[in-house]
Every structure is written in C-alpha cells, then in structure tokens.
Amino acid sequence: MKRTLVVGAVIAVVLAVGFYALAQPKSEDKKEMTKSGGKQHRLAAALETVQWGWLDPKEPPKLTVDSGDVVSVETMMHSHDKVKPGITMDEIVALRKANPGGGPHSMTGPIYVNGAEPGDVMEIRILKIVPKNFAINFNLPGTEFPTIGALAPEMPNGFIKFFTLDPKKKSVEFKPGVNIELAPFPGTLAVGIDPNDPSPRKGGVKDDPMAPVSTLRPWKNGSNMDINELQAGSTIYVPIFLKGGLIWTGDSHCRQGNGEVNLTALECSYREIVLQPIVRKDMKVEWPRIETKTHWIMTGFDEDLNKAMVNAVRETVDFLSTQKMVPMDRYEAYSLTSMIGDCRVSQVVDVRKGVHCMVPKSAFTKKS
C-alpha cells in the first residue's frame, strides 16, 4: 500500500491535450510542492460536513482552500455511519429504502478551491490514506434486489461479513486460510455536478439542472467510479463544472476487485485521506483521467457495458493521438491501444457501468 505521493516517472512529458501542459513543473519542483504544499487543512466527518447519498451543488462549502493546499479529510461509513458492527441485513435493506434514488454513500464535503472555474481541470493528488478499524462486505437479497449484483438472481439471500482492520498488518483475514492485502482507495472522488448529467435528480425533478444528483452513478465529474488504481500516490484529473470545483469524497474502500461484483468492496472509512487539489487552467479533459507511477488511465461510463468499453477506448485513442512525446495519428493510437491498453471493468453494480483502460508508461522509451 503506497503511503506517500509518488511522482510519475515521465513527469516532464508535454501533452497538448492530456495530463500535462507546458506549465507543468519539473519533477524536482513537484516533489518540493508535495512536501510543503500550501496551507495544511483538516476536514472532520460530522453530520454537518457529510451528506448522505446526494451531491448537492447548493450545499454550502465546508472548507475553503487555495490551489496547492493540502487537506486531510475524514470519511464516514455508509448512511451517516449507520452501517456499523453488528448491523443486520434487515437494517441494511431499511437504510437502502430510506433514501429513495440516493446512494448509500456518506460524502464529506464540499471543499471549495479558490480560483477554480468551469472549464478548468481539477488535479487531485492522493498523498496518504489511513483507514479506520472496521470494514464490511455484503450483498443485498436477490429476491428483493434482482438487478443489484452480477449474480443477484442466483443469490436470493442477503449476506454480511464483518472485518476488524489492523493498519499495522496492512491485511485482514477473510477466513482461516484466506488473507486479503489492504489496498485502500476512495470509491467516490468527485467535483461538483455537471448540470448536464443525465442522471435522475432528487425528488424526480426534471427541469432544474442544479438539482442534487445521486451518488450512485459515475460521470464526467468523477463520482462513484470505483476504480481501484486510485490509491495513495495516484493523481486524478477531472473537468470542473462549478465555481470553486466543490470536491467531495466518500464510499471509502480498503480493497476491491475489478467489477465489485456482489455490490460492495471491503467497505471502510478513513481516519484521513490526504488530498492536494491543484487548479489547472493549462489543460483540458472531458472525462476523468488518472495517473499512477506506472500507468495513464482513461475512463468510460455507460448503462450499457459495451458502450462503456467503447467510451474508454475512445478516450484512450484520444489521449494517445494527442500526446506529444511520440506523435501518432488516430489509427496508430487505435492499434497501440489494442496491443498495450489493458481495459478493465471497473464495476458493474453502479447502474452506470465503468471501464478503465490502462496505458503503461514503460512503453514510451522516448522522453521529451
């Protein structure tokens, strides 16, 4: 599990439309920026700072920061921490029904970033993640929720498994003989809503583009992406739709397989997830993109998994055909994607399904 920010191996790459632009600092400067950053902030999780199941663009900011500041954010377990040790399946089902249309996720935020304007890009570096000590995995009863989970019709009963985490071990026992290495990441990391998001709005509102959007579905602003590569040391680039950016995080995970097939991951909450938001006025992205030490990652979402794949592949071809390290046309980019692009199903349980395509940095031997 990565605990410090790792600067990308190809940090000096210059991209016309992509992860880096001409103003990108050198790697030495980025390391120093990460050490010092700007001011240090803390946003604790409380009923006043955490929203359940909805991203509301009218929710007053809980913290205001400058670009480059470092923020330690605490998160809650689902449903305002009502999911806790000993909870029963009946109680989980009741919580699911208590917030019609909304997600179960507890979202800390929003965080207002000075200078962030619609049309900019929010770069968010994940510097550190420290989980709390309780985790859970469950599936809902397939008889009552036949579409929630890859095998929901075959799993008529609900199932719950509780875990006690020991951060020092960085692993947890599933059962005797099966051990799970922890790999925490935020299932949901978002900026304020896209007014054109086609997702249903709270209360069934259809004529208000600023009505709250459910946390269930991923979209251009990030939200419930469930991409397990978004661990400490990674960076996400998200288009900004609302003034101040309005950063939210929640749906904290301590481990998840690609697909998240039974509905949940190793669901947990964080003592802190340390974020460094940086407003980028020198780049453009249409959909979220992620960078790790070893890969560039493009995303695609749609209710139809095949279309989600098409969207992720198109994003990857767009990225490769516009990067300036080794110029190539779209046919070459399409060919390269087919040979080295590792396109994975992020999740199939969030109504709007997700695919992410990973491009290894190691394939690029020419450094600009």
Question: Which two tokens mark 316?
Answer: 């990857």
Q: Which of 328, 333, 330, 331 is nearest to 359 (CA)?
A: 333
Per-domain residue ranges of the chain: 38-285
Residue 27 has pLDDT above 50, yes or no: no
* 288 against 36, higher pLDDT: 288
Mean pLDDT, the chain, as a whole number?
Answer: 91
Q: Which of 121, 127, 125, 159 is nearest to 140 (CA)?
A: 159
Q: What is the DSSP secondary structure assignment for residue 160, as one 8-state letter?
A: E
Instruction: Name the β-bridge partners of 297.
Output: 290, 358
CATH number for the region 38-285 comes to 2.60.120.580
Query: Residue 368 — pLDDT band, cuts 50, 70, 90?
Result: low
Q: What is the mean pLDDT of residues 282-307?
A: 98
Phi then psi for 322, rounded to 5 degrees? -115, -15
Q: pLDDT per residue over 40-70, tens digit each? A: 999 999 999 999 999 999 999 999 999 999 9
Instruction: Name the β-bridge partners of 14.
Output: none
Question: Which position has the token pair 């309780």?
Answer: 134
- The C-alpha angle with vertex 292 and arms to 280 and 354, in degrees rounded to 5, equals 85
Residue 26: per-residue pLDDT:
36
Q: What share of the chain in percent tops pLDDT 90? A: 88
Residue 263 has pLDDT above 90, yes or no: yes
State the pTM of this model: 0.90
Residue 166: per-residue pLDDT:
87
Residue 349 has pLDDT above 60, yes or no: yes
Residue 13 has pLDDT above 80, yes or no: no
